[in-house]
Amino acid sequence: MAGASVIEEQMRVATDPAIPAIEFDQLTKRFGEHAAVDNMTFTVPRGSIFGFLGPNGAGKTTTIGMAVGLIPPTAGTARVLGFDVATQLPEVLRHVGAMVERPAFYPFLSGRMNLQIFAKQAGLDDKVRVDEVIEMVGMSERADAKFGGYSTGMKQRIGIASALLDDPDVTILDEPTSGLDPAGQREIRALVRRLADAGHTVFLSSHILGEIQDVCTHVAIINRGKLVATGQMHEILETSNELVIDVDRPEEARSELTQMVAADDVHLENGRLIVQTPLEQAAEINMRLVQAGFAVSQLRHREKDLEDRFLELTEQHTRSELNNG
Ligand SMILES: Nc1ncnc2c1ncn2[C@@H]1O[C@H](COP(=O)(O)OP(=O)(O)O)[C@@H](O)[C@H]1O
Ligand SMILES: [Mg+2]
């Protein structure tokens, strides 16, 4: 039967691990002359927690809008689980749960009632599922209070709950932690991890980097509508050419090392030795210190944190854009 084969085909696509969760291919959105999203190409792997980072105005919401069919692209394509958003939107929506901007809720109804209305509109008349998503976002105790009386964080959590109603394979959250205090942000991170542990792909945008650093497996950094960098988080947090060494008698150890590397390349920082050196030299440095009778308790590469890396990349990018006119 033709109908059955269409469903089989969709099931195959939805469960084939080789098909990425999201693919953006030369995606472009112009508002008049201004390219809000400019020739954006990158892939969101299945099962990843993918951080979509960029300063305000970089084009995050516009990109997400194109991924979920809210904004028609000027050029290029967005695919979700292999389905073309432009031509297969119903299939896309069957697999995606999204929170883009803040959804409209009735202030005079409870969080629970609002979610039940959402569920009904989506054809999911299932009170058990509403209770589940309320539990997932940690709103069980306040679910029956009026939405209008909630804090920003609680409103945000009800928004996220609405995105999870259909148990989506791919969850897209636009700035899910905006307006949350650190405790609320932590809760959202824990929620994102639980979703990923359950096999979901989570794509979330943010302009705040620290919070993305611990939770995301992959990242794309954008600036002025353009992709600046993308890859696994650890690739982006590229190790610098710096060794951090914990050693007894650090001052003497410093002198010892100046016989091996230039004096300018080794200094003390908070009682630790910092050595500028090609990373291949680490073993040699360790051996030299140990042979000279020092107790080396730790020797590691200094990782730049994402905040620094992000600023570095976006500033470089902005400079080169300005130089090119
Ligand atoms: N509907 C629109 N009309 C005109 N310009 C828009 C529209 N939506 C967004 N923009 C512009 O596109 C750029 C990217 O916006 P947006 O995607 O909202 O960025 P972000 O979500 O990263 O803060 C901004 O310069 C913004 O002013
Ligand atoms: Mg935005």
- Residue 63 C-alpha to ligand 1 middle, in angstroms? 10
pLDDT at position 239 is 55
pLDDT at residue 199 is higher than 80: yes
Burial class (CB in 10 A: 0-12, 13-18, 19+), 173: buried
Q: In this structure, which amino acid lies at residue 146?
A: K
When the pLDDT of each residue in the chain is averaged and rounded to a whole number, the result is: 88
Domains of the chain: 2-236 (3.40.50.300), 239-303 (3.30.70.980)
Nearest to 177 by CA among 198, 133, 207: 207
Rounded-to-integer distance, Cα 246 and Cα 267, Å: 12
CB 48 within 8 A of CB 21: yes
For residue 283, CA distances in Å to 219, 248, 249, 286, 290 come to: 31, 18, 19, 5, 11
pLDDT at position 5 is 66
For the full predicted model, state whether its pTM sits above 0.85: no
Q: Whose CA is nearest to atom 25 of ligand 1?
A: 57
pLDDT at residue 209 is higher than 50: yes
pLDDT at residue 210 is higher than 80: no
pLDDT at residue 152 is higher than 90: no
Index of the ligand 1 atom closest to the CA of residue 174: 21
Q: In this structure, which amino acid lies at residue 172?
A: I
Residues having CB closer than 6 A to ligand 1 are: 31, 36, 54, 56-62
Residue 28 backbone dihedrals phi, psi, to 5 degrees: -140, 135
Could you count the other beta carbons within 10 Å of the beta carbon of residue 234? 12
The 10s digit of each residue's pLDDT in 214-250 is 899 999 999 999 999 899 988 777 656 788 999 999 9
What average pLDDT does the segment 280-292 reach?
Answer: 92
How would you classify the pairing of strands 170-173 and 201-206? parallel
pLDDT at position 1 is 44
What angle do helix axes 127-136 and 111-121 make, rounded to 10 degrees?
Answer: 130
Read off the pLDDT band of 264 (50, 70, 90). confident
pLDDT at position 127 is 79
- Residue 35 C-alpha to ligand 1 middle, in angstroms? 9
Rounded-to-integer distance, Cα 144 and Cα 163, Å: 19
pLDDT at position 109 is 97
37, 38, 52, 62, best to mutate for ligand 1 pocket (most atoms within 8 Å of CB)? 62
Could you count the other beta carbons within 10 Å of the beta carbon of residue 154? 20
Range scoring the smallest mean pLDDT among 76-85, 150-159, 205-214: 205-214
Read off the pLDDT band of 296 (50, 70, 90). very high
pLDDT at position 325 is 61
Rounded-to-integer distance, Cα 154 and Cα 143, Å: 9
How would you classify the pairing of strands 49-53 and 201-206? parallel
Residue 114 backbone dihedrals phi, psi, to 5 degrees: -60, -45
The 10s digit of each residue's pLDDT in 32-86 is 999 999 999 999 999 999 999 998 999 999 999 999 999 999 999 999 999 999 9
Q: Report the chain's C-alpha Rg in angstroms.
A: 24
- Residue 77 C-alpha to ligand 1 middle, in angstroms? 19
Q: Whose CA is nearest to atom 10 of ligand 1?
A: 36
